[in-house]
Structure 1
Amino acid sequence: MRLAVDALRMTLGTLTALPVPAPRVIDRRVAGGAMVLAPLAAVALAVPAGLVVWAGGLLGLPALAAAVLAVATVALGSRGLHLDGLADTADGLGASYDRERALSVMRKGDVGPSGVAALTLVLLVQCAALAGAVGAGHGVAAVVVAVIAGRAVLVLCCARGVPSARPEGLGATVAGAVPIPGVLLVLVTVGGLATLAPGLPWWRGPLAVLLGCVAAAALLMRCVTRLGGITGDVLGGCVEAATTAALLTLAP
């Protein structure tokens, strides 16, 4: 019971801006549990974003305006954590083929040209895709499924066998912390629940989850090859990649 409470506190405290008590202990078991519970924490982001889309429809807002407000709600609810990770990852990958140089650039935290470009393009695509879903009448379902799918891929990024690029930091804490059965359980569960998304054919939600995993896996493989493993920034980049792919899948 204590393990579950600490894992829930870690996932909520890390992935959302909710004021929760700090875990009493953080070890690999707690870290693995926190990643497994990431989709649950995502509900705290997905529900407000869905409400924004719903309210936008009631108020007669343009589809793009409602989409921008919903994407902003998710960003505020997560303190922009994953967007920051996306920018740092883009800067690191674009900085140099030297591993240590790339990690040094990512550690600095300031945003360079590659990071700005990545942020701009990803946010534009997310807003445009969600606007398409809003215009098609299933915007609420699209944003809820995409936000949860985006956080569900954290179990994939932290699966047993995925190394850490550094000996310290969030990446070192969670790298390889989720057993393969746990990865499969989370992704199959999220994909199964996505079949119930209202206003969508039963297969669209699971397809969005699947393509989100493919996008995250592609970025993950690139980072492991270039950087030697994951960092907290890489996790954030994978979340945004998966969310974007899921939104594109649900746009029409």
Structure 2
Amino acid sequence: MEYSMVKGGKLSFKGEKKKSKKHKKAKKRKHEEKGEGSHSLQQHLIEEDTKKHGGWWVCQKMEEITGSVCIEIGPQSYISALDSGLFTVGAPRDEGSGPAPEEVLMALRILDTEKVSLKSGFDKYLSTDEHGKVQGRSDAIGVREQWEPIFQDGRMAFLGSNGRFMGVDEEGDIVCKSKVAGPAEFVQVRSNVSREVDPLANVPVEERGGKVYDTEVNYVKKFQSFQDRRLRVNQEDRTDLKRAKRAGTLHEVMLDRREKMKADRYCK
């Protein structure tokens, strides 16, 4: 027999008991349970952090930076707008408190880019001046009013239009001067937008009534031709609709029922 045809693997000796794979399954199960535990712990830490900051949670990706946000640049300390149009670091907030009104910004995604604009409570957009200071004095969005959130290794920094990172200087002023992001430039963008998931988000509007009769009427209204201005709903027994809903064939059965009424523009 050719050597290449010989089946490789661990050698088996006569009389040797085959080891059970039970321990592997138990080990796998234990690993999965450990993973679930880690996820629960992480979720708990996120909830505690959010509670600590008065309901403001940390944005961890570009899509989350929208609407009302604040920029935490130190523990419980946020970038704060001054009436002069400049920005500074606000006083640390007590645990359980969110940012002050002057520390809340409005974030808007710049279309077809990975950048955002930031508007202060004075209704002015943030930009950088020729000296690298961050200011809020613009009435419209231009190139200088665009900021790019950079996420890396669990940290985040804002890159300005001048190719520098937003940070805080020794005097506590918000500037955009550093070519690299360090401790003075690391920030956390927080949002208070509700993250509750709509349980009906993936359910068509026509099927949110719950009852099969309401669902059928909604689809008839959607597809029926109203040349004679009369709503034509199949009045036959709807037991088949209930069965079809459980079986996942509701749309097919409703189409057959509408076809009988000869009023559906998508039926034969």
Would you call these one fold, judging by a TM-score over 0.5?
no
TM-score scaled to structure 1, two decimals?
0.20
Q: Indicate the structure with greater strand content.
A: 2
Between 1 and 2, higher relative CO (CA 8 Å, sep ≥ 6) is seen in 1
- Between Structure 1 and Structure 2, whose CA radius of gyration is higher? 2
TM-score scaled to structure 2, two decimals?
0.19
Q: Indicate the structure with greater helix content.
A: 1
